[in-house]
Chains A and B, each alone.
Chain A
Amino acid sequence: MKAAITALQEVYGLFVEDGSYAAAIVIWLAIVCFVFPHLPGGGAWRGPLFFAGMAVILVESVVRAARAKSRC
């Protein structure tokens, strides 16, 4: 049982390291999957907008981590 829990934790760790960063990605993915299809207009903007959201999440996370480091 303990080995199974450890194995699951290791697998979880492959995808999640910083909880708030992973949560932001999941929330953005949920918006992309469930909200984008209902928005008006052609679909050409969806891909670039999806990427832009991921880029913002990435940059915000690294800057936040760097600021946290500088406070230490």
Chain B
Amino acid sequence: MKKSHILLLVVIAVAIGVIVSTADDASTYVGFSEAWAMSTSGNNKEIHVVGQLKKDPNGHILGIRQGEDRVSFSFIMVDDEGKEQQVNYSQPMPPDFTRSEKVVVIGSYKGDVFNASKIILKCPSKYQEENVNA
């Protein structure tokens, strides 16, 4: 066997290792019902849930509660399957939170509430912005 073949095998082995580990460490997008099922079956791996903030028919956001310390807050999120869930976040509200059209929370269930360790927002692009302050 030539050295270059050995080297090639090593490279391929490492590359496969990387891919397997990436696939293994990758989190998953699930709905709240599935996340709940996972947590009750003892799987506490953090997962991603995609959804929106709960809004009334006029577009006002419902259910945001500031923590007394102002370094945390909770809100109600509706996932893509339509299930509502209270989400706690132990950090201040991220910039543009209330303007987001889509929210991704990363975290896991703790009892009845979903504890988010990270929140990612998808904000409308500036082109769709509707208000100009005169």
Q: Do A and B come from one complex?
A: no
Enumerate chain B interface residues (CB-CB to A < 8 A): none
Enumerate chain A interface residues (CB-CB to B < 8 A): none
